[in-house]
């Protein structure tokens, strides 16, 4: 058991028999009355987001999870197959579990899978991925006092805003948390 002072982003908790990941939280100390913690929780594996307020010091049931390294292999009939990097065992996971990772997930990529016992409950992408540009318009020089940008479609199908000098085939470093271009790789 943990209390509200232990809450942090990414923490998995059991609330009324369901698993939730904390997306964001805010400690609030009003001028009158007791302090409380306002949270945004994402249900695992469904992905439904709810708002929940806890009184300061209220106990929450923390779920112990194990983080394991897996490699994404392929998709078949709305199931995504991952291979354990140590044992080479393959596990199928539902689309709901990998939905947040889909824009930047490509075959052969290593991901972390959070396991509750033997059951996968969430997938964590690396913070940065390197992906090739599949299509983009040619950069046109002109009145770009602020640098200018254009859209580029990556090899996974995701569309990101990039500087004008980026061309088809360039490898880009992308932040998976924000979906933003960082630099050429």
Residues 47 and 71 both lie in one domain:
no
CATH number of the domain encompassing residue 135: 2.40.50.140
Cβ contact 63:77 at 8 Å: no
Residue-wise pLDDT tens digits, 97-150: 888 788 899 999 999 988 888 888 888 888 899 999 999 888 666 545 566 788
Alpha carbon distance 7, 59 (integer Å): 10
Residues 100 and 141 both lie in one domain:
no
**pLDDT at site 131:** 92
Residues 51 and 101 both lie in one domain:
no
The radius of gyration of the chain from alpha carbons, rounded to an integer in Å, stands at 20
Residues 73 and 86 both lie in one domain:
yes
Task: List % helix, strand, coil for the chain (3-state, nearest 5).
Answer: 5, 55, 40
Residues 118 and 70 both lie in one domain:
yes
Residues 78 and 37 both lie in one domain:
no
Cβ contact 99:47 at 8 Å: yes
Q: Is the dihedral of CA 69, 74, 77, 83 positive or negative?
A: negative
The domain of 34 spans 2-62
**pLDDT at site 81:** 93
Number of domains in the chain: 3
Query: CA triplet 175, 178, 180: central angle to 5 degrees?
Result: 60
Alpha carbon distance 176, 127 (integer Å): 6
Residues 134 and 172 both lie in one domain:
yes
Domain's final residue, options 90, 107, 124: 124
Residues 71 and 111 both lie in one domain:
yes
**pLDDT at site 130:** 92
> What residues does 175 pair with on adjacent strands?
128, 180
Residues 114 and 134 both lie in one domain:
no
Alpha carbon distance 80, 86 (integer Å): 19
Please state the rounded mean pLDDT for residues 85-97: 87
Domain's final residue, options 124, 150, 166: 124
Name the pTM for this structure.
0.71
Residues 49 and 87 both lie in one domain:
no
Residues 57 and 81 both lie in one domain:
no
Residue-wise pLDDT tens digits, 4-17: 777 888 788 888 88
Please state the rounded mean pLDDT for residues 57-61: 85
């Amino acid at each position: 058991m943990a209390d509200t002072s232990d809450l942090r982003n990414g923490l998995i908790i059991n609330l009324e028999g369901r698993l939730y990941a904390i997306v964001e939280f805010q400690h609030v100390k009003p001028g009158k009355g007791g302090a409380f913690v306002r949270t945004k929780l994402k249900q695992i594996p469904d992905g439904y987001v709810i708002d929940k307020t806890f009184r300061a010091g209220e106990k929450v049931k923390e779920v112990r999870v194990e983080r394991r390294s897996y490699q994404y292999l392929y998709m078949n009939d709305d199931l995504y197959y991952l291979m354990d990097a140590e044992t080479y065992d393959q596990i199928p996971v539902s689309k709901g579990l990998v939905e947040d990772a889909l824009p930047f997930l490509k075959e052969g990529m290593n991901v972390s899978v959070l396991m509750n016992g033997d059951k996968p409950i969430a997938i964590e992408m690396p913070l940065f991925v390197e992906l090739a540009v599949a299509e983009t318009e040619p950069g046109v020089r002109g009145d770009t006092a602020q640098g200018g940008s254009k859209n580029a479609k990556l090899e996974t199908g995701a569309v990101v805003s990039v500087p004008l000098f980026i061309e088809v085939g360039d490898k880009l470093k992308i932040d998976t948390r924000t979906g933003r271009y960082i630099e050429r790789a």
